[in-house]
Structure 1
Amino acid sequence: MSKATVILIPIGIAEDGYDSLPAYISEYINSCDIFFVENLRTARRAFKKLDRHFDIDAKEWHEIDKNEAALIPVFTKAMDASKTIGISSESGCPGIADPGQILVGLAQKNNIPVKPLVGPSSILLTLMASGLNGQSFSFNGYLPIHEADRAKKIKLLEAKSIKENSTQLFIETPYRNNQLFQSLLKNLGENTAVCIASQVTSKEEWIKTKTVMDWKKSNADIPKQPTLFAIGSL
């Protein structure tokens, strides 16, 4: 009897950025028997974009949403049945600042082969284009919402960046992008470099790195679109 396999399937970051995905992904999505996805509608639409002949109804679907651990029994049953299992998140790469980690960890514990497919990661693409240190870096997720807590966190990340000569990356809910940007300008040193990467892989992609001093002169308005922020030194 063949052994189960877990396939980690990337999804385009931007609606108009699916040309960033390699064509061979369609072969893998068709080979899967069962899918565990962050959002059913997004995943099905994405797979149809990759292969218009993809048969949605021939596959078994489970939505991860916000309770990945609740799917462990179903996932375990699929492994025991030697299924080819696909995992995908809302956009980008599953398990990288997105759901998938718990299920992949379970597969590893059970010695099930896990195959990650090549795809876009806004974190790595931002780092590549930033000009900041790509040898030492950390992704810190979302910063605190409240101003005082956010200011404290920004200063801690700047201190860490200086001490370790590292790049510190983080993200914000799109409608708060400008609020975070202003907090960065207010709390960082004048010579600290800030990279802003908005709508990565889309036709409206916008990636700029400047010192705080230069950003203050620019009157920049950050779009209310998915955006990554990074701080470090040029």
Structure 2
Amino acid sequence: MIVNDPFLYSGKLYLIPTTLGDNDPLEVLPASVQKHIERIDTFIVENEKTARRAIKKLVPSKSQPSLKLFTLNKHTDPADIPSFLKPCIEGTDVGLLSEAGCPGVADPGAEIVKIAHREGIKVVPLVGPSSILLAMMGSGMNGQNFAFNGYLSIDKSARKSEIKNLERLSLEKNQAQLFIETPYRNNKMLEDLISILHPATRVCIACDITLSTEFIVTKPVSEWAKTKVDLHKRPTIFILQKDF
């Protein structure tokens, strides 16, 4: 039997994207995001200070004292997380605000979205910038089949093994492999890719996406070995694909 309305409560969870850097929000966010932030006062955020700054930048007239913020990050007690959705159960809309980009994608907000589905709360994702998708769009690699792998190991031996395995998977599955690194280790990551991968394997470096310093370039490892680029502390997506 198909249930016409599977949602138990009138309050909804809105997944609200933010900019990927310090630029004008309306350059990369649709007006609908601004409209929802104008009317919503309860938010689940990763960091209260940066969330307040993002809200103020998008809606300067919004009363900051009226905001009710729940913090969801690695320090949050898992037992407390379900209570963040109590306003939805009581009929009030809640916004899940990402620290950068889209909530729930490489983001701790995925846990609250899972709970919302379990509890019968309607989830409404809003359009916004995703560094993962924008990097894929600009890479020229296989947008029909790709995988995001998050962070690789910091252990040297395990890291080498993971990079070789991603290269193997990219060839066997014709699948672009995406991953990220802590920004202050980006240059070391590029050095590792150059030393570990086959010279003809393609690597895309996509950093500072949507910013004035945006850099998205794809070329073989052999060419990266001849290229000087400073990725230090610049948010970066790495993509690799072996085609032969």
TM-score range, shorter chain: over 0.9
Match of 1:146 in 2: 155
The answer as to 2:57 corresponding to 1:43 is: no
Match of 1:131 in 2: 140
SS of residue matched to 1:49:
helix
CA-CA distance at 1:216 after TM superposition = 1.1
Q: Which residue of 8, 12, 16 maps to 2:23? A: 16
Question: Which range moves more in the overlay, 160-169 or 219-228?
Answer: 219-228
Question: Which range moves more in the overlay, 46-55 or 6-15?
Answer: 46-55
Q: Which residue of 216, 231, 239 maps to 1:207? A: 216
Match of 1:177 in 2: 186
Query: Structure 1: where are the runs of 5+ without partners?
Result: none
CA-CA distance at 1:17 after TM superposition = 5.1
**Contact between 2:70 and 2:84, CA under 8 Å: does it hold in 1?**
no
CA-CA distance at 1:96 after TM superposition = 0.3
CA-CA distance at 1:223 after TM superposition = 3.5
Match of 1:187 in 2: 196
CA-CA distance at 1:69 after TM superposition = 2.6
CA distance in 2, matches of 1:140, 1:17: 30
Match of 1:7 in 2: 14
Taking only aligned residues, the RMSD between alpha carbons, in angstroms, comes to 1.6
CA-CA distance at 1:74 after TM superposition = 1.9
One-letter amino acid of the structure 2 residue matched with residue 85 of structure 1: V
Question: Which range moves more in the overlay, 90-99 or 54-63?
Answer: 54-63
Q: Which runs of 4+ in 1 moved over 4 A?
A: none
CA-CA distance at 1:68 after TM superposition = 6.6
- Residue identity (%): 44
Match of 2:34 in 1: 26
CA distance in 2, matches of 1:77, 1:194: 45
**Contact between 1:68 and 1:102, CA under 8 Å: does it hold in 2?**
no
TM superposition score normalised by structure 1: 0.95
Aligned CA distance change for structure 1 residues 163 and 99 (closer, same or farther; 3 Å): same
Aligned CA distance change for structure 1 residues 68 and 104 (closer, same or farther; 3 Å): farther
**Contact between 1:132 and 1:233, CA under 8 Å: does it hold in 2?**
no
SS of residue matched to 1:218:
coil
Match of 1:52 in 2: 60
Question: Which range moves more in the overlay, 129-138 or 2-11?
Answer: 2-11
Match of 2:232 in 1: 223
Q: Deviations over 1:58-81 (max 9, x none)?
A: 121111121273432422422321
**Contact between 2:82 and 2:112, CA under 8 Å: does it hold in 1?**
no
CA distance in 2, matches of 1:195, 1:46: 30
One-letter amino acid of the structure 2 residue matched with residue 44 of structure 1: R
CA distance in 2, matches of 1:59, 1:53: 13
